[in-house]
Chain A
Amino acid sequence: MNELPNTQKKRDAADPASDEQLVAAFTRGSTEAFSELFARYNQPLLGFFRRRVADPAHAEELTQETFLAVLRAASRYEPRALFRTYLYAIGFRILRAHRRKAAFRLTFLGAAGFREPAAQPATDAEVVLHQAVGKLERTDREILMLREFEELSYSEIAELLRLPVNTVRSRLSRARMALRDLLAAPAPKSTAAELAESEERI
């Protein structure tokens, strides 16, 4: 990743440009603007995919695809929504396409056509957490993860998932309560297969 010049760093520190301003600058030809956007969202976006895709290599590919899609659409970007929402919306579309392809390959080609290796959690706490999150209903899980990890607001999540804000709030509450119960319950001894299954479900 290119480092920004010191003078610009000082100026950004004093008056950081918004994401939308950076996109506008990039469409006018500023490479530094995109570098700044990349620096801001490289790690969060990779985290977004790493938590949803078991294979780290796939996560990196999807992150790359998302940035390339942003590049492609930069000239058509209109700041009707926050850039962050826009970026994650693209990420979601790419993720869904990846899941559809993976499901298709698994359905028709079997494990030989597609093999998604399970990520290995580092600690026991992570194992328990992954299992608990994996047991949540899919939409509830997405809402919870978008709130907790991507730190999106309720309205941003609602826009991203095309749900009413009240639905997002009630589902988020339900997901947190369910997670609390799951984490509070004594953790059963998991077999390797169960662990892999919960990882895949996430």
Chain B
Amino acid sequence: MNTTAHAVTAEEIMAFLDGELSAPDAQIVAAHLDTCAECSRVAGQFRKASQELKCWTAPGPALSWDSFVLRAAGAASGGSIHSANAQIRAKSWTWKQWALAGGGTAALLLLVLAFSMPNLLRSRQALLRQKVAFQDELQLPMEGSAGKANLSRDGQPITDQQSKTLSNLVTLSTPGIASDSSGLFHGLGDHAEHSFGAADALPAPMIARTVSLSIVVKDFPASRASLDLILARHRGYSAQLNVSTPENAPRGVQASLRIPVAELPVAVTELKTLGRVENESQSGEEVTQQHSDLLARLKTSRDTEERFGTILQQRSGNVSEVLQVEEGIARVRGDIERMEAEQKALEHRVDFATVELQLSEVYKAQLNSPAASVSTRLHNSTVAGVQSAWETLFGILLFLAEYGLTLLIWLAILAFPTFLVWRRYKRKLAAV
């Protein structure tokens, strides 16, 4: 239809037939259709197309499912909408249900942990209490007579089984450590030596002790000087010492001190006088077994070296055999030296306790501390921001330089199959 020759367009005729025009527009189109044969023909074609479409019927429903829908509706109105929703959603979970289920499971796990953890801790604590009670029972009669260590409080001899149990308890708990009235730990060897007669038969345990102290001091320079004095007095040394003096913040010292074991109780007591103790912990690691193993291996290696020496003195073989023996001697000698170094280090750890000390100053804010001006802070922030942005960009460039080519290769490899799959999917989507 030539729209320039007609007052109305085909679209308007169609909209008129569909009842989608306003009343004035509809009147105009109706009047035009009465006078224009061509437009009437177009209108007839529209009507015909619609009528022909009407023959496309959809058969009636198989009503096997509507009762279910209505039942769901009944549940919704009989109880509540939410209960009906719950019933319906049971078929397929929504994200909320997944989240709820996940949260519930997590809460349940937390609950189980909350119940089980104290029980586990309690059993460990009970073990410790049992051990202490056992020791108390043993120590009372033994304090007066060191030679009667195998007597319990009521004068009954301690059986081998009880001794073994005590030994096991001590090993299971913090190895070789018991607390005295001053709060310092003593190694099992100390206790064993003065309270056990059985200790005569056993080698004294070797305990590597560690003490951690966190102290807040008022006068930082004085405390620093006192620390040096304490170390000198007790023949200790600092294995590591870091002093920090930041601006507008409290100064501090972090040090790892090594102090002879015999001096440890007194040294720690003196260290505590430097200020207010915020945190203190003491521990000990029993290295007896490690030391014994080392000695045994050392002895074996020395025996081997001795045998090699004997073989070499006899010189009964040819040159190659002599060379093999010399190689063996060199290897064994190396092992012996390494083990001797380990032995020394181990014994040093036992002889010198480690004190991890943290001294921090009581900070007093200074009222006259000059605060940076707004412009300075703005400038600094801008510079930091630009640097950060540049680093990010540079990082991306570096990443692309390093992996870009590999990524391109993989993209090239995967692009074609992906395109094929995508095209197939789109075709199927259009066809379904």
Contacts and interface: CB of A to CB of B under 8 A. Distances in A.
B427 to A, nearest CB: 8
B84 A71 contact: yes
A85 interface: no
A130 B58 CA distance: 12
Interface residues of B, number: 51
B431 A34 contact: no
A61 B68 CA distance: 12
Nearest to A166: B11
Interface string B76-94: 1110111011001100000
A153 interface: yes
Contacts, number: 149
B69 A68 contact: yes
A124 B205 CA distance: 104
Nearest to A53: B432
B399 interface: no
Given A42-B66, A60-B62, A201-B431, A129 B56 contact: yes
Contact of A107 (B10, B46, B55, B421): B421
A72 B89 contact: yes
B78 A31 contact: yes
A60 B61 CA distance: 7
A148 B53 contact: yes
Given A35-B73, A153-B20, A75 B82 contact: yes
Contacts of A98: 432
Q: How large is the interface on A (under 10, 10 to 19, 20 to 34, 35 or more residues)?
A: 35 or more
Interface of B is mostly: helix
Interface string A85-126: 000000000000011101110110000000010000011011
Query: Which residue, B10, B426, B429, has most C-beta atoms of chain A within 10 A?
Result: B429
B20 A154 contact: yes
A136 to B, nearest CB: 11
Contacts of B432: 98-99, 102-103, 106, 116, 200
Interface stretch (A11-19, A167-175, A185-193): A167-175
B120 interface: no
B65 interface: yes
Interface string B217-228: 000000000000
A176 B46 contact: yes
Nearest to B80: A29
Contact of A183 (B11, B49, B431): B49
A34 B89 CA distance: 19
A50 interface: yes
A125 B55 contact: yes
B429 A103 contact: yes
Given A31-B78, A176-B49, A50 B69 contact: no
A1 B58 contact: no
A71 B58 contact: no
Given A60-B64, A98-B432, A144-B53, 16 more contacts: A29-B80, A31-B73, A31-B74, A31-B76, A60-B65, A64-B65, A64-B68, A71-B72, A71-B84, A72-B88, A103-B425, A126-B55, A129-B55, A133-B56, A154-B15, A176-B46
Q: Which 6 A-B pairs have the closest CB atoms?
A: A47-B58, A103-B429, A50-B58, A103-B428, A34-B73, A31-B77
5 contacts: A1-B66, A64-B69, A72-B88, A153-B20, A180-B48
